[in-house]
Structure 1
């Protein structure tokens, strides 16, 4: 399991001298994976530790606190994905205005050389760092020559339509209900993790008990009904159908957004467990029905459609197989 290090000051001596990928990597999408894969490949060739330096909270949240960024992969989920990609450690460097005021030279000498002892840095072609973004790729390459570490800059990654893959494109796709596009840009099925909470247990009385999760208020996923894969804390994976929305048939206007997942063929207790929901297909939008009978009839239709979709599911990539499928069984079918 990749070691999560909350600050570079606490970086273990045994992991120093490795290859370090640097970036925010929110979403760990296909463009990020190009940077990260090059770091993993180089470290394996050189038999060196493979590390990631990222920043918490997201810098945009620090500079624009009134506009919190919709995090595609909060720190725990990001660390899990990076672990699946083969990294030894994830440094979640605390980021605040004091840290942002460091000079580019100080970032290199104190963080990269002093704390991490980097042998090689891999980052995107447009990586800037230090006060006023004074550190640019040329500065980093020059610093590498002065301090004895290598630098690899990775060009922007474009999709099949020659459009650059970015976190903002994925956020827009999710907000617009285009889950297929979002998943294609990510290279794996979009996922969220949260603790299962007690609810009003209305679903249980209707024959559809659900595991309820409260997602961050800035979550921009379009409300609707989704075919999903549900991963428990023990690693087991189950098919399901999920509703993300305000439950207009049974709640007053203005109810909080809630993710409710009906896990197929499961009767255990999920309360208090932190689970992962991977979104496979958007089935329909959220609707208000005239009564519970109509709601239950539609839920039966949703269940049948979700079962059909999930019964034919194939991995998008090795990373998707590890995240969305039950790897303990040795099968991705």
Structure 2
């Protein structure tokens, strides 16, 4: 992440050099190709005007506030979302705390207090269907009218459609990941789906079998299909390693355990405990299986390693963002 990029939690503490910028507004969960169409327009507008480019997003996701009983599979938790926005070239992300109190702000107060007074924006860029304020009372027309009154411009970006003319959405990507369709999900994201977590200690069974793994507990709401994946692993120092990962409950050895992501890094030996690392998924190899003993499990793991090595040997970046996240060997 750029040393100058800033994550800001309180709009009242926006540094003075960031005032007067162009702001892209939205949840941007996944920062997928549809979101990138909005974000690219904001970057272009900021460059044209010679002002900072910022993103205004909301944390937690509004669905988690309004429907807390329904777990939401977040594609990009705030730290990873910030990393991606920094790679795209933004100066800062403002992570507006989303509470019931904030949600009760009417549309006029959102525009006048948040956008005009606290952020001092010169231009806003949003999707064509952006709504805001209590009961979603504010919409594109309202925002444009408010901009005329308060002195900022507004750009609305149409829905982005993929090569099959279908709208790219976060919910569609979640559905693909639930089915293990990580290659198709990557096509909509514009980069390989990536998770980030701290490496924790395990039972070290993999080490005794000749396949030591880096274990990462993902959020309970992670609805990724259980199974075996070809992956690329980024250590906290930015170093990349190819590998094969298992996500699930380990039915052969621990059928009642909580889901865990266990990554075997190729050609690596070292201590990763305590490091916050990222795993990018390149291909789904197979589903979870319960083997008749450890010997059969090890034989299958060797086949998985060969298949993952072959798959990863032929991969190419999907985009400049994908190259930065999962191909570059320098720290991101």
The offset of 1:60, in angstroms, is: 0.2
The offset of 1:326, in angstroms, is: 2.4
State the alpha-carbon separation in 1 of the partners of residues 329 and 182 from structure 2.
Answer: 24
Cα deviation code 1:222-248 (max 9, x no counterpart): 001000000011111110000001000
Count of residues in Structure 1 that have an aligned counterpart in Structure 2: 328
Q: Structure 1: 5+ residue runs without aligned partners?
A: none
Which of 313, 316, 321 pairs up with 1:314? 316
Matched, 1:304 2:306: yes
State the alpha-carbon separation in 2 of the partners of residues 3 and 277 from structure 1.
Answer: 24
The offset of 1:26, in angstroms, is: 0.1
* Structure 1 counterpart of 2:17: 14
Cα deviation code 1:42-70 (max 9, x no counterpart): 11121100100000000000000111211
- TM-score of the aligned structures, taking structure 1 as reference length: 0.97
* Structure 2 counterpart of 1:295: 297
Matched, 1:109 2:112: yes
Which of 46, 50, 67 pairs up with 1:47? 50
State the alpha-carbon separation in 2 of the partners of residues 98 and 294 from structure 1.
Answer: 56
* Structure 2 counterpart of 1:79: 82
State the alpha-carbon separation in 2 of the partners of residues 83 and 72 from structure 1.
Answer: 17
Cα deviation code 1:79-129 (max 9, x no counterpart): 000000000000000001000000100001100000100000000000000
State the alpha-carbon separation in 2 of the partners of residues 258 and 89 from structure 1.
Answer: 32
Taking only aligned residues, the RMSD between alpha carbons, in angstroms, comes to 0.9
* Structure 2 counterpart of 1:213: 216
1:30-69 aligned at under 5 Å gives the runs 30-69=33-72
Matched, 1:202 2:208: no
* Structure 2 counterpart of 1:95: 98
3-state SS of 2:330 partner: helix
Runs of 4+ in 1 over 2 A off after TM superposition: 326-329
* Structure 2 counterpart of 1:133: 136
State the alpha-carbon separation in 2 of the partners of residues 55 and 203 from structure 1.
Answer: 40
3-state SS of 2:65 partner: helix
